[in-house]
Amino acid sequence: MGAAPPICDFGWKAIDARLTSTEGRAHSIFDCAGPNGLVVAFICNHCPYVKAVIDRMVRDARDLEALGIGFVAINANDAAAYPEDSFAAMKAFAAAHAFPFPYLHDEDQSVARAYDAVCTPDFFGFNRDLELQYRGRLDASRAAPAEGDVPRELFEAMRSVAETGEGPREQIPSMGCSIKWKDAA
């Protein structure tokens, strides 16, 4: 069953953290921002919703870079319960899809909790002041790729953010698998 995040909380400020990337380096989330903004995407390796959009997500991240929008992906899933989301599997997934952005491991899930991430994929689009302007979907894909030439909703929203500092007021939430939280023992 799919999960959907809440509507965009316009102006909510991004939260910084240092996490390890699949290249083995620590990255600050804020250091991934471009001069016109930042997309923070919560994804994982095994989710059919992520698999349905991953190649278009990589394309959009490359295209957004040209507009001055940075991009970072974060995996917070419990790898003990979901071995397909292990750090080693993250490395393979990033390489297989030629990620042009850091893929960070949120092993203790503190960043996902701070962002109130709900599902994979869950997209947060920030302006140059790191104020939230988009909390929507990549496009109309669900657990299978959308047919035909679907509108690039995340890309177009972030193009607006790059040009005006503001995202569209009408947004359709992303849908995906719920974040796999560790037991709170």
Mean pLDDT by 10 residues, the chain (185 residues): 80 98 97 98 97 96 98 97 97 98 98 97 98 96 85 97 97 95 72
Q: How far apart are CA 99 and CA 83, in angstroms?
A: 21
The secondary structure of 149-182 as a DSSP string is: S---HHHHHHHHHHHHS---S--PPP-BEEP-PP
Question: What per-residue confidence (pLDDT) applies to 122?
Answer: 97
Question: What per-residue confidence (pLDDT) applies to 149?
Answer: 85
Question: What per-residue confidence (pLDDT) applies to 147?
Answer: 83
Residue 77 falls inside a structural domain: yes
Residue 144 falls inside a structural domain: no
Domain limits at 114?
Answer: 29-138+150-178
- Number of folded domains in the chain? 1
CATH number (domain holding residue 51): 3.40.30.10
Question: What per-residue confidence (pLDDT) applies to 184?
Answer: 52
Residue 10 falls inside a structural domain: no
Residue 20 falls inside a structural domain: no
Residue 13 falls inside a structural domain: no
Angstrom CA distances, 131 to 15, 22, 118, 169, 174, stand at 10, 27, 19, 14, 19
Residue 7 falls inside a structural domain: no
Interior CA angle at 113 toward 140 and 168, to 5°? 35
* Amino acid code (one letter) for 31: D
Residue 21 falls inside a structural domain: no
Question: What per-residue confidence (pLDDT) applies to 1?
Answer: 53
